Amino acid sequence: MAARLIIYPVFIILISLFFKEQWVFAFFDNNGFDLSNSLIDKNEIHYGGPAKDGIPAIDHPLFVTAQQADYLSADEQILGLSIDGEAKAYPLRILNYHEIVNDFFDKKPVVISYCPLCGSGMAYSAVIRGIHTTFGVSGLLYNSDVLLYDRETNSLWSQLMSQAISGPLQGEKLQMLVLTHTRWQDWRKRYPDTLVLSDKTGFSRDYTRSPYGNYNKQKSLYFPVKSLNNDYHPKEYVIGLNYKGVKKAYPFVELSKIDSPYKDKIANETVLIVFDAQHRTGRILDAQGEEIPTVTSFWFAWMAFYPHSEIFKAHP
């Protein structure tokens, strides 16, 4: 694993400077979070660079129409969420700098999260134990993945585990929503009336450039992970499925070899894999034709969390 890792303290300094945050003191106090009841070994939780809220969540998102989103190119990556006929697109160029958007769909609170280090976008209901909950970026990482925190209890939440790992809500699960990771032209064609997260966020950021450079093409990782599977390029995209106790990874390189749609068996049920190679996006439907919540992420990230996942092969 070490051969694939750069010396991550160097990255901590660089990313802290990029986000203009003090990093030295936060490094020694876990950014102010109490890890005494953590479900995860405290030695596996790493300081990511910026202090708590150093990467600022967007709490009052502004949206424009698809026609007004002239800052997006056709092949740009977005996260798309559609609930009860209302559709919104969240460009990765903005999420790279904020990672969390606290939003509403017809008065229903949701949280959209994106981890640039894992390439993982996930959306959840923001109602926990009947309470509207808002989230921020902790500045801490587990398996290179963002740890969110809720502002109501200061509990830490693992994005890819969809679970609180410390604090008063330790063990609580988040309700995952169907989120689409695709290109702007694809989402706009599907939802011509979609709204788009505006680049007028109220923060001074250059959304035309990524703070992570060409990280998504490199084999190296910035932070340690608990386990590393070398069967594919670490940054190969996969669709990760956690369904009825079965975890399975669908690498894009394998999905590109099959005719879509494709029937697969999960937990003794037939599911339908729909993959769009042109737009690099996919979804999985259950036997009733309903889309199952999945996560698109880098290969290394999914397998770090779920090392015993089944792996889809186009030609077993």
Per-residue pLDDT of the chain (316 residues; tens, 9 = 90+): 333 444 455 555 455 555 555 444 444 578 999 999 999 999 999 999 899 999 999 999 999 999 999 999 999 999 999 999 999 999 999 999 999 999 999 999 999 999 999 999 999 999 999 999 999 999 999 999 999 999 999 999 999 999 999 999 999 999 999 999 999 999 999 999 999 999 999 999 999 999 999 999 999 999 999 999 999 999 999 999 999 999 999 999 999 999 999 999 998 899 999 999 999 999 999 999 999 999 999 999 999 999 999 999 997 6
Q: Are residues 162 and 215 in the same domain?
A: yes
Q: Are residues 114 and 254 in the same domain?
A: no
Tell me whether residue 92 is in a domain. Answer: yes
User: Number of folded domains in the chain?
Assistant: 2
Query: Which residues 6+ apart lie within 8 Å of 195 measured at CB?
Result: 63, 64, 65, 66, 86, 87, 88, 89
Q: Are residues 99 and 245 in the same domain?
A: no
> Which residue range forms the structural domain that includes residue 265?
229-311
Report the pLDDT value the prediction gives residue 54, as an integer from 0 to 100.
Answer: 95
CA 296 – CA 163 distance, rounded (Å): 18
At residue 84, what are phi and psi to the nearest 5 degrees? 50, 45
Q: Please, what's the largest Cα pairwise distance for the chain?
A: 53
Tell me whether residue 107 is in a domain. Answer: yes
Strand runs labelled E in 133-172: 135-142, 145-150, 156-158, 163-166
Q: Are residues 31 and 94 in the same domain?
A: yes
Q: What angle do CA 114, 307, 212 make, to 5 degrees?
A: 30
CA 214 – CA 62 distance, rounded (Å): 28
Evaluate whether 94 touches 118 at the Cβ level (below 8 Å).
no
Measured between alpha carbons, how far is residue 207 from residues 71, 92, 198, 250 in Å? 9, 9, 11, 31
Tell me whether residue 213 is in a domain. Answer: yes
Q: Are residues 94 and 242 in the same domain?
A: no
Report the pLDDT value the prediction gives residue 315, as an integer from 0 to 100.
Answer: 78
Query: Which residues 6+ apart lie within 8 Å of 211 measured at CB?
Result: 15, 18, 19, 96, 97, 116
Q: Are residues 55 and 177 in the same domain?
A: yes
Q: Are residues 206 and 302 in the same domain?
A: no
Residue 27 tokens read as: 């490094």
Of 199, 226, 253, the one marking the end of a domain is 226
Q: Are residues 215 and 239 in the same domain?
A: no
Residue 44: closest CA among 116, 115, 143: 143
Q: Are residues 239 and 203 in the same domain?
A: no
Of 170, 194, 226, the one marking the end of a domain is 226
How far from the centroid of its chain's Cα atoms is residue 252's Cα? 17
Q: Are residues 300 and 288 in the same domain?
A: yes
Q: Are residues 200 and 271 in the same domain?
A: no
Tell me whether residue 316 is in a domain. Answer: no
Report the pLDDT value the prediction gives residue 13, as an integer from 0 to 100.
Answer: 47
Of 169, 192, 226, the one marking the end of a domain is 226
Q: Are residues 137 and 187 in the same domain?
A: yes
Evaluate whether 151 touches 21 at the Cβ level (below 8 Å).
no
Tell me whether residue 29 is in a domain. Answer: yes
